[in-house]
Structure 1
Amino acid sequence: MSYSKAFCNVYNQFGWNYFPEAFGEQLLTWMEQNQIHIEKSLDLACGTGVLCEILHAHGINASGMDFSEGMIAIARERNPKIHYDVADMITYRPDQKFDLVTCTGDALNHIMELSDIDRIFANVYNDLEDGGYFIFDILNEKEVPMEEPIDLDFSDTVKAQFMVTHDPDGRINLKTTVFENGIRQFEENIKEIVHDEKAVCELLCKNGFRVEKCSNHFLENEGNYSKTWYVIARK
């Protein structure tokens, strides 16, 4: 989906980077533990490019794509050395193959139809080198937060409130309201849907992948369990 410029700026400046930063460190640990060498990576729905930057800093030829021009503009400004594309994840076809494709931050839950996810999986399979990995997360239906507001302080003057609601069709709406000095600056509504993890894994197998892991924790020795399913698939 395409985010407003205001949302992209808040995303970049005040706290949304914690997830790609944390996942990036886990990913590097996973590679080290399993002696996996990655030369080229692609991050689908990369946002402001934080995960790409982490991989790039560790010698990986990282690239990213996102549907939001605002997110990509920030990503390019943060690190001009990394290649980024503005594109639709459903139809995106890069001109090279990768050892690793990632798609995190429940980005696939923004894709409303399983048929479109099927198309993404087919494309990713073709865009991977033989033996390459596809790693992503999707929301865990049992862990989706209920309809209670969550308040977060970005700074002494900037506050945000999050409210997750469900509509009759089973879709999730995340409403983000940002305040500065007590005055509402903007509001953003993001639509998502929870996909059954078994159906998602079946689509991976249909497209030729071998599912190596589908779990609510990424690292085997990790003590904290996530509100998402982590999926590791291999071509």
Structure 2
Amino acid sequence: MANLYDGKMAAIFDAMYQTFIDYDQEYVFYNELIQENNCKSILEIGSGTGNLAKRFKENDQEYIGLDYSQSMIAIAQERNKKSLFIHGDMRDFELTTPVDAIIITGRSTSYLISNEDINNTFDSLYKNLNTQGVIIFDFIDANRFIPFIKQNQAILHEATYEGINYIRESHWKTTSLENFMLEWSAQYYTIVNDQKEIITEDLSTVRVFTLNEIELFLYLNNFEIIRTIDRKTYAYDTYVIMAKKKML
């Protein structure tokens, strides 16, 4: 898994996504699904800089955040001093106490490149859920995204936060359509005196999925799909899956 959003990248990510994502709306979306299943304890994988954590804590919910980036966790912990954040890998983690719901947010599934990564992740989710526990996660839809990037060589996203204007210029290259893997390069700029000034750049290998693939992985790892939601986000066409742990 890529070493994402460490150091300076964590702060840039945090600033830009304040504009990209309405975190109040995001909280309502996930919390309605969680409450629909009467879940009390929640683990968020890909908790990032703690924007959703803040909302869960404000509503006195039993919340834990897990992220692969220590720099992101540092920002999250400063923002949510009374919340618990764990540095960990979704493919192999163990909680002290199982939880009722595990959510994987921000299309973090994109960084599960191999089939082994996916199976190990679902196995870890299964082991850390209570009986009748649920998982909720999103993924980029390959059937819509791959044609889109073939038609759009460069994709621009603009954001303004605390008076600073940012631009992210993304380029996508297909590396292995066998697993729908893509090379994602991104350049991050600020706008100063109407001129772009580069801050940093990032390169990641990511994977997009078909709905049928995800359905099969869940079946093989003893999860039963409860709901499938077709959801458009700020940049990607995604599906959100809610699935229940099946008893062996």
Same fold (TM over 0.5): yes
Paired residue for 1:118? 119
Farther-moved stretch of structure 1 (139-148 vs 127-136) = 139-148
Q: Indicate conservation of the 8 Å contact 1:209/1:233, yes or no.
A: yes
Q: Indicate conservation of the 8 Å contact 2:42/2:63, yes or no.
A: yes
Separation in structure 1 between the aligned mates of residue 183 and residue 23 of structure 2, nearest angstrom: 22
Unaligned runs of 5+ in 1: 219-223
Percent of paired sites with the same residue: 18
Q: Indicate conservation of the 8 Å contact 1:171/1:191, yes or no.
A: yes
Q: Indicate conservation of the 8 Å contact 1:98/1:132, yes or no.
A: yes
Is the aligned partner of 1:150 residue 2:164?
no
Q: CA RMSD in A?
A: 2.3
Q: Counterparts of 1:54-65 in structure 2 under 5 Å?
A: 54-65=55-66
Aligned residue identity for 1:189:
L
Is the aligned partner of 1:165 residue 2:172?
yes
Q: Indicate conservation of the 8 Å contact 1:15/1:154, yes or no.
A: no
Match of 2:26 among 17, 23, 28: 23
User: TM-score when scaled to structure 2?
Assistant: 0.83
Aligned residue identity for 1:175:
A
Separation in structure 2 between the aligned mates of residue 49 and residue 137 of structure 1, nearest angstrom: 18
Unaligned runs of 5+ in 2: none
1:99-127 deviation per Cα after TM superposition (whole angstroms, max 9, x unaligned): 11000211011110121111111111111
Aligned residue identity for 2:92:
T
Farther-moved stretch of structure 1 (190-199 vs 127-136) = 190-199
Separation in structure 1 between the aligned mates of residue 157 and residue 129 of structure 2, nearest angstrom: 40
Greater strand content:
2
SS in structure 2 of the partner of residue 96 of structure 1: coil
Q: Counterparts of 1:1-235 in structure 2 under 5 Å?
A: 1-2=2-3, 3-16=5-18, 18=21, 20-31=23-34, 34=36, 36-144=37-145, 145-146=148-149, 147-155=153-161, 157-169=164-176, 170-181=181-192, 182=195, 183-217=197-231, 227-235=237-245
Aligned residue identity for 1:192:
V
1:6-34 deviation per Cα after TM superposition (whole angstroms, max 9, x unaligned): 111012223346165432111223445x3
Aligned length: 227
